[in-house]
């Protein structure tokens, strides 16, 4: 079985010590940097934008997984490629022409991801799953870190895994929101490949060790 991945969410980092926190992730057993971009329109919060991502890219030495929580993401695909994004996820709910958006992301040399809000059924991806490199299953309503995990996520992961197998797709399943050592193993056993963890990592006493433990649980 392929290695299960851990992606610390920089939204929960200490922005006053951003370089320090990036180096912590660089030197940890984490696999990816998860970067949340919010526009205050698609979600009721604004996180950070291009100059901050530029700084993160400059120091980060692992895959940069960007999660766009913005309306009309097509406007910025090229910009995010130039800023060093390796994976670019757009929200299903924010795309009128999802298939076109996915092609545009790939044309810029990035992996194409689709994020689904907790209310959005997996079956909306039936006709695009073979074009999607990663599905980000939101296990909280997007907009804020530190929220509690929505249990129905397990049903969605199960359905998504079935869809991927049925269609012969190679899509990765990422879980985003409220991930801890308590639900990590069950999520992986249900079909998840990548676990995003923000508060659980950055609010812990020993961050590298928390990442190490999560990675060990995910691969146990
Ligand atoms: C929520 C973001 C998440 C968030 C996860 O809108 O997409 O990536 O940073 O944070 P935790 O792990 O604290 O729920
Ligand atoms: Zn996210």
Can you give the residue ranges of every domain in the chain? 5-218
pLDDT digits (tens, 9 = 90+) for 184-209: 999 999 999 999 999 999 999 999 99
pLDDT value at position 166? Answer: 98
Mean per-residue pLDDT of the chain = 98
pLDDT digits (tens, 9 = 90+) for 103-125: 999 999 999 999 999 999 999 99
Ligand 2 centroid from CA 81, angstroms: 18
Q: What is the 3-state secondary structure (H, E, C) of the chain?
A: CCCCEEEEEHHHCCHHHHHHHHHHHHCCCCCEEEEEEEECCCCCCECCCHHHHHHHHHHCCCEEEEEEECCCHHHHHHHHHHCCCCEEEEEHHHCCCHHHHHHHHHHCCCEEEEEECCCCCHHHHCCCHHHCCEEEEECCCCCCCCCCCCCCHHHHHHHHHHHHHHHCCCCEEEEECCCCCCCHHHHHHHCCCEEEECHHHHCCCCHHHHHHHHHHHHCC
Asked if pLDDT for residue 132 goes beyond 90, the answer is yes
pLDDT band with cut points at 50, 70 and 90 for residue 179: very high
pLDDT band with cut points at 50, 70 and 90 for residue 99: very high
Among protein residues, the one whose CA lies closest to atom 1 of ligand 1: 142
Asked if pLDDT for residue 9 goes beyond 80, the answer is yes
pLDDT band with cut points at 50, 70 and 90 for residue 131: very high
- Let me know if 189 is a catalytic residue: no
Task: Give the CATH architecture of domain 5-218.
Answer: Alpha-Beta Barrel (3.20)
| Mean pLDDT along residues 65-77 | 98
CB within 6 Å of ligand 1 — which residues? 9, 11-12, 34, 36, 67, 140, 142-147, 176-179, 196-200
- Let me know if 65 is a catalytic residue: no
Asked if pLDDT for residue 130 goes beyond 80, the answer is yes
Ligand 1 centroid from CA 12, angstroms: 8
What predicted TM-score, i.e. pTM, was given to this entire model?
A: 0.98
pLDDT value at position 175? Answer: 99
């Amino acid at each position: 079985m392929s290695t299960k991945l851990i992606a610390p969410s920089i939204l929960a980092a200490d922005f006053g010590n951003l370089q320090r926190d990036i180096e912590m992730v660089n030197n940890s057993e984490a696999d990816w940097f998860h970067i949340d971009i919010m526009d205050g329109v698609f979600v009721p919060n604004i996180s950070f934008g291009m100059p901050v991502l530029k700084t993160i890219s400059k120091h980060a030495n692992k895959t940069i997984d960007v999660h766009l929580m913005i309306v009309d993401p097509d406007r910025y695909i090229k910009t995010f490629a130039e800023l060093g994004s390796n994976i670019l996820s757009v929200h299903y709910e924010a795309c009128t022409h999802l298939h076109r958006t996915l092609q545009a992301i790939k044309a810029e040399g990035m992996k194409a991801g689709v994020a689904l809000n907790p209310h959005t059924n997996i079956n909306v991806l039936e006709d695009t799953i073979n074009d999607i490199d990663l599905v980000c299953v939101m296990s909280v309503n997007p907009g804020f870190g530190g929220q509690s995990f929505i249990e129905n996520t397990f049903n969605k992961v199960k359905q998504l895994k079935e869809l991927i197998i049925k269609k012969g797709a190679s899509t990765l399943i990422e879980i985003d929101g409220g991930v801890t050592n308590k639900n990590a193993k069950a999520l992986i056993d249900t079909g998840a490949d990548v676990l995003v963890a923000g508060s659980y990592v950055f609010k812990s006493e020993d961050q590298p060790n928390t990442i190490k433990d999560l990675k060990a649980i995910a691969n146990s």
